[in-house]
A and B are shown apart, each in its own frame.
Chain A
Amino acid sequence: MSRSSFLYALWCLGVLGLYLAAASQGYSPFADGGRTAGAYRAYGPTHK
């Protein structure tokens, strides 16, 4: 395995580790919880 492949494999392991950590902690940066403050709310149909 070349050095660049080794480094890329390390990168992928890091990403999988982060995914595992987020999954075990029930975390997502795009979750609904906590995102409502200041969110713009639009009502009514948009049909024309």
Chain B
Amino acid sequence: MISQPAPAASETNYINEFGGLKSWLLTGDHKRIAILYLISVTFFFFLGSVAAAMIRWELTAPAGVVLESDTYNKVFSSHGVIMVFTFLVVAIPSVFGNFFLPIMIGARDMAFPRLNLLSWYLYMAGGILILAGMINGGVDGGWTFYTPYSSMYSNSNVTLVLTGVFIIGFSSITTGINFIVTTHKMRAPGMTWFRLPLFVWAHYATAVVIILGTPVVAITLLLVVFERAFKLPIFNPELGGDPVLFQHLFWFYSHPAVYIMILPAFGIISELIANFARKRVFGYHFIAFSTLAIAGLGFLVWGHHMFISSQSMYQGIVFSLISFLVAVPSAIKVFNWTATLYKANIRLQSPMLYALGFIGLFTVGGLTGLFLGSMGTDVHLTATYFVVAHFHYVMVGGTMTAFLGGLHYWWPKMTGRLYAEGLAKANAIIVFLGFNLTFFPQFIVGWLGMPRRYHYYYLAPEYQVYNIMSTLGSGFLGIGFLLPAFYLSKSLMNGRKASANPWGAHGLEWEIPSPPPSTNFLQIPIVLDEVYDFDPVTEYEQDRAQQAIEHAHEHPGMMDSHDETASKLEEGGH
């Protein structure tokens, strides 16, 4: 790529160019908005985790520990609502998408900076309403808000919380519109569609799902609010309304929403795999198109959430079949990432550890999805902990792991500081092990029949051992989430300064200073190369030189260190 004039010596960047709280709260800079989002989603993730910890603690004993049944209902509902609507749907697109999509395509900003800022305010307004509802009496019925319970019977704060979710929906929509227009219209000269980093493809597909799905769930939830507030009868069975219709409309969005949560994660993983395997991703076009295929097929499978909700057998068969088809593009991705690793010069730095963990966890999550997508097994497994384990493998093992991987990968670029790599590597392993200990036993206990959302299981005390394992694992997982908060914040205070490209990665974001200047590029780049354009020979030589330097640092006395390292490398290389 025709790159930038050498990074300017001046220390002006997007963080320190303008000072004061007001300059942050009224900013149009996509990077600052991403930081605002990073702080907010971390806050909401913390609250959701506290709720998760309460659930896990409560389930250690067959008859419960401290919570009343009613409180338990509210706690697991809060966990679901907060995690889904204020973290998973929002986190990766609004933090990393916001920060890096414009930079990766060589643009100075999003197409609509003020709309971008509006999306953060909508998010905060919705989030505060949700929290207000939860603090002021709580909400029950789970994050799915099935009618008629939510519309006619629940006496908790459904109206307030749904209004909050509705508003957050518009925050998603504005972000989606921005991504679509930015990707279409703001690419730098020479940045063709097939030179786009796969991260951009993933966010483009996500944006398409957002703008098609979110309005549908928005109006559906609004109808529930209106039914509660103004007696507008749409899902009321007493008047001939169909409560199952709510489920159709809800899952028409909320199944694609699963892809809103996981497609951006795929994007991060593609970046990590290519840049730490130091190779062009195997089958770039296939990964790009499989992203679009998942986005498209995702709209045709909602009925697999409703196999036991009175839908006809033939409808079930069709939904089951199409659900199976989603496995094809998903598998294309997993196989292509794995093929990229083959004979690659892999660097096991902390972001890569998360990426490798992701591939394993997502595969388990995806394959168990097939169990649930086939009607016979689904009847047995519906609403058991097997389902809980399945979607936590995809959402936590997938999206959350990718979020952490992306956070570690781009932290030096976003903040200009390097964190403690050793701790970060250890943390990746803690998260992986803690996660599996938490959620794998849930597959088993679900298979044995433990229903989700139940408060007690004293009639089946044999479930206890799995629940205790699960709770123990969640403790490790909690450490795995707190530790990065500690060492990443510490790096802000006394971390070493990051160079423009600490990983030796490819991509426009690594050609500008860390942290980037407010306008991203001093002049708009002209892109001449393919994406992930690693030259194997150069890579090998650079690697050898780097290792020789490290070796020389460790053993200053040895003169022949260079040759030794080289011969070691050749031995270990195959």
Task: Answer yes or no: are A and B bound together in one complex.
Answer: no
